[in-house]
A and B are shown apart, each in its own frame.
Chain A
Amino acid sequence: MEFFDNLAIGFGVALTPANLGFAFLGAMVGTLIGVLPGIGPIATIAMLLPLTFHLEPLSGLIMLAGIFYGAQYGGSTTAILVNLPGETSSVMTCIDGHQMARQGRAGVALAVAAISSFFAGCISTALIAGFAPPLAKIGQSFGAPEYFSLMLLGLVAAVVLAHGSILKAVAMIVLGLLVGLVGTDGNTGGTRFTFDIRELIDGIDVATLAIGLFGVGEVISNLSRPEEQRSVIAQKITRLWPTGDDFRRSWRAVLRGTALGSILGVLPGGGATLSSFAAYALEKKVSREPSRFGRGAVEGVAAPESANNAGAQTSFIPMLTLGIPGNAVMALMIGALTIHGIQPGPQIMSERPQLFWGMVASMWVGNLMLVIINLPLIGIWVQLLKVPYRFLYLAILLFCAIGVYTVNNSSAAVLLAAFFGVVGFILMKLDCEPAPMILGFVLGPLMEENLRRAMKIASGDPMIFVQRPISLGLLIAAALLLLIVALPAIRGKREEVFQG
């Protein structure tokens, strides 16, 4: 049984006291930052990257994954207790979760969220362990044309699955591709868009871009709105354990949410946000009493929470096996891997099995940590939510600054992050979602490289992309996706999903 052998290798390294400690620490700081409203997982990971620098690669990655889950889950706590989504993937949890909290069932809502997430985490970890090896095998047979077509499919999917206007999402990806070009062209040695600024010759670091667009941009954006009165649920949380009725109502929702999230997470451009929106919409559709939704329905918490966690987990699959990030968080993870000297791709599983399987096993460990951290410590998070934003933003701003400075070891990067902060604020104000931009930014150089190689293989004949069967299949899939999204009926559906 290869499956169990692999997991045994993984748990062998993930369960050492040190690595357990790092998983705990990661989940803890991740939750700490994730609980704060208005700071999502992308900014959290980027900001906390320096914490993992001085660790061994595996420990660093385990901690980073813990930070990611913590940030993800922390958003749900905020959603339930304050009715402010900590990030877009917990928007749906707000609707029923906060209603439950107002009915005095905050503890139950938090427990349902934690248990659903944990269940989804267990299933999706098993899925990763099962599907990663065959996928990596396929990946190894890929040449430059296949990679290029796959990334193109990824970008198309990212557009189709993005929030809001499709055209703007395409434009944001193109913008990201352009920003990705800044620096020295590896092939010709020429510099592009560097404007004779020495610090730009090596290009822009993904963490700088992410901290600027998301961290700094969100701080400005939050400050530009008058400070709203946050109503943290004040009564003491007494009852945590759900009733039998809650279990009866939510178990199917958890199963459906996990299934949907696992599938949508693997798709490029998918991941946690889309999964939670889709799961909530599905649950409302299949429910016999749709009118309960929005009024504290426990399934309305269970479905999106299991889905966003499953989606967050399975989005690791294409990143780890093919080296292609499916969403902005994974793009950042690739950046983090590179800092640790690891090139993600199909070879990493065979070359560094301990690292690979250790990381997979640590995903499960991280999910367990979340339950441990969140349920007993809920009182602390409630206290944290009462800290006024005028103090929080100073700390966030400072951590952004220190994060950028230490990742790049350059003060020019801090200035660059300030610039991207303004850009991010303007984009948010104009309803342009900045997440596809990060994806374009990371995929851009990879795509250009593979396009060039493919053209060299084919002596400049673009037909190579349709002559190779896998590449052709991927391109057809991309074309179909574009076609489907252009159909008015589907377009209506897409808008419906995102409106919940």
Chain B
Amino acid sequence: MSDVSRPARPPGWEILARADVLSGLLFIVIAAFGLWASRNYPVGTALRMGTGYMPRLLCWVLLGLGLIVFAQGLRQPAPPLRSSPLGWRAMLSVTMGLVAFGLSIERLGLVLAILLITVIGALATRSLRPMETAIAALALIALSWGVFIAGLGLAIPVWPDW
């Protein structure tokens, strides 16, 4: 994403870190990736559209839009975005928490999956004390069990499948 701006850095980088410039780049990259991924899809004709007709059309449109947004972003003055360590930390631990939940829910069951997502998710912020995390995990386990298992009777495994 964005870079922490330091006074020593040449202004070229500052321009690249603007929200519009980066969005333009993002659109261009996605469109290019889409075009590459759909390179073998049969396109067909307007009458008999193949699998690739729509994807390729949309990718070209996105590519064009990305270029315009990029160019506009270069021209208009805007402050560069700054990335914060807080953002990276939040992104990593939230994502990892979800991944852990997804991978564990079927084999290890709801209780352990909740434990994993709370403990890993709690790393996202420095303000949670270990004791607080533990209490939160227990409360969430009780609440989810009450709502989803006892209340709604959803077919989610609760305990590990030995």
A residues with CB within 8 A of B = 50-51, 53-54, 165, 167-168, 170-171, 174-175, 177-178, 181, 185, 187-188, 190-193, 195, 216, 219-220, 223-227, 388, 390-391, 393-395, 397-398, 400-402, 405-406, 411-415, 417-419, 421-422, 425-426, 429-432, 448, 451-452, 455-456, 459-460, 462
Q: Is there an interface contact between A167 and B105, defined as CB atoms closer than 8 Å? A: no
Taking CB atoms, residues of chain B closer than 8 Å to A400 are: 98
Residues of chain B in range 105-162 having any CB-CB distance to chain A below 8 Å: 105-106, 113-114, 117-118, 121-122, 124-125, 127-128, 132-133, 136, 140, 143-144, 147-148, 152-154, 156
Q: If A224-B90, A391-B132 touch, does A421 touch B98 (CB 8 Å cutoff)?
A: yes
Please give the distance in Å from A75's CB to the nearest CB on chain B.
23
Q: If A168-B69, A178-B62, A223-B90 touch, does A192 touch B41 (CB 8 Å cutoff)?
A: yes
B residues with CB within 8 A of A = 1-2, 19-20, 22-23, 26-27, 30, 34, 37-38, 41-42, 45-52, 54-55, 58-59, 61-62, 65-66, 68-69, 72, 81, 84, 86-87, 89-91, 94-95, 97-99, 101-103, 105-106, 113-114, 117-118, 121-122, 124-125, 127-128, 132-133, 136, 140, 143-144, 147-148, 152-154, 156
A222: nearest residue on chain B (CB-CB)? Answer: B90
Taking CB atoms, residues of chain A closer than 8 Å to B2 are: 429
How many Å lie between the Cα of A426 and that of B19 in the bound state? 10
Q: Is there an interface contact between B47 and A459, defined as CB atoms closer than 8 Å? A: yes
Q: Is there an interface contact between B94 and A190, defined as CB atoms closer than 8 Å? A: no
Please give the distance in Å from A396's CB to the nearest CB on chain B.
10
Q: If A170-B65, A219-B94, A223-B90 touch, does A411 touch B51 (CB 8 Å cutoff)?
A: no
How many Å lie between the Cα of A491 and that of B133 in the bound state? 49
Q: Is there an interface contact between A227 and B65, defined as CB atoms closer than 8 Å? A: no
Residue from A54, A395, A419 within 8 A of B152 (CB atoms): A54
- Max chain B CB contacts within 10 Å: which of A167, A219, A225, A401? A401
Please give the distance in Å from A247's CB to the nearest CB on chain B.
41
- Max chain A CB contacts within 10 Å: which of B27, B81, B114? B27
Please give the distance in Å from A373's CB to the nearest CB on chain B.
19
Taking CB atoms, residues of chain B closer than 8 Å to A412 are: 102
Q: A417-B98, A451-B49 are in contact. List 5 more A-B contacts (CB 8 A).
A: A167-B69, A181-B58, A187-B49, A406-B154, A414-B101
Q: Is there an interface contact between A50 and B37, defined as CB atoms closer than 8 Å? A: no
Q: Is there an interface contact between B69 and A171, defined as CB atoms closer than 8 Å? A: yes
Q: Is there an interface contact between B154 and A425, defined as CB atoms closer than 8 Å? A: no
Q: List 30 A–B pairs whose Cβ atoms lie within 8 Å, in order of A's numbering.
A: A50-B154, A53-B152, A167-B69, A170-B65, A178-B34, A178-B62, A187-B49, A190-B42, A220-B94, A220-B124, A223-B90, A224-B84, A224-B90, A225-B86, A226-B86, A227-B125, A227-B127, A394-B122, A395-B143, A397-B97, A405-B156, A411-B103, A418-B98, A419-B95, A422-B95, A429-B1, A431-B23, A452-B49, A455-B49, A459-B47
Q: Is there an interface contact between A432 and B23, defined as CB atoms closer than 8 Å? A: yes
Please give the distance in Å from A395's CB to the nearest CB on chain B.
6
B2: nearest residue on chain A (CB-CB)? Answer: A429
Taking CB atoms, residues of chain B closer than 8 Å to A419 are: 95
Q: Is there an interface contact between B128 and A224, defined as CB atoms closer than 8 Å? A: no
Q: Is there an interface contact between A50 and B97, defined as CB atoms closer than 8 Å? A: no
Please give the distance in Å from A226's CB to the nearest CB on chain B.
7
Q: Is there an interface contact between A216 and B41, defined as CB atoms closer than 8 Å? A: no
How many Å lie between the Cα of A172 and that of B69 in the bound state? 12
Q: If A175-B27, A175-B62, A415-B102 touch, does A195 touch B37 (CB 8 Å cutoff)?
A: yes
Q: Is there an interface contact between A414 and B94, defined as CB atoms closer than 8 Å? A: no
Please give the distance in Å from B68's CB to the nearest CB on chain A.
6
B22: nearest residue on chain A (CB-CB)? Answer: A430
Q: Is there an interface contact between A192 and B55, defined as CB atoms closer than 8 Å? A: yes
Q: Is there an interface contact between A178 and B59, defined as CB atoms closer than 8 Å? A: yes
Taking CB atoms, residues of chain A closer than 8 Å to B102 are: 401, 405, 411-415, 418
Taking CB atoms, residues of chain B closer than 8 Å to A190 are: 41-42, 50-51
Q: Is there an interface contact between A421 and B95, defined as CB atoms closer than 8 Å? A: yes
Taking CB atoms, residues of chain A closer than 8 Å to B30 are: 175, 178
How many Å lie between the Cα of A227 and that of B125 in the bound state? 9
How many Å lie between the Cα of A8 and that of B111 in the bound state? 47
A29: nearest residue on chain B (CB-CB)? Answer: B147
Taking CB atoms, residues of chain A closer than 8 Å to B95 are: 418-419, 421-422
Q: Is there an interface contact between B121 and A462, defined as CB atoms closer than 8 Å? A: no
How many Å lie between the Cα of A405 and that of B26 in the bound state? 29
Taking CB atoms, residues of chain B closer than 8 Å to A225 are: 86
Q: Is there an interface contact between A167 and B65, defined as CB atoms closer than 8 Å? A: yes
Q: If A391-B136, A415-B102, A430-B23 touch, does A398 touch B38 (CB 8 Å cutoff)?
A: no
Q: If A390-B125, A398-B144 touch, does A462 touch B46 (CB 8 Å cutoff)?
A: yes
Q: Is there an interface contact between A174 and B49, defined as CB atoms closer than 8 Å? A: no
How many Å lie between the Cα of A452 and that of B50 in the bound state? 10
Taking CB atoms, residues of chain A closer than 8 Å to B81 are: 429-430
Residue from A53, A411, A430, A452 within 8 A of B106 (CB atoms): A411
A406: nearest residue on chain B (CB-CB)? Answer: B154
Taking CB atoms, residues of chain A closer than 8 Å to B105 are: 405, 411, 414
Taking CB atoms, residues of chain A closer than 8 Å to B94 are: 216, 219-220, 223, 397, 418, 421
How many Å lie between the Cα of A170 and that of B128 in the bound state? 40
Taking CB atoms, residues of chain B closer than 8 Å to A223 are: 86, 89-90, 94, 124-125
Please give the distance in Å from B146's CB to the nearest CB on chain A.
13
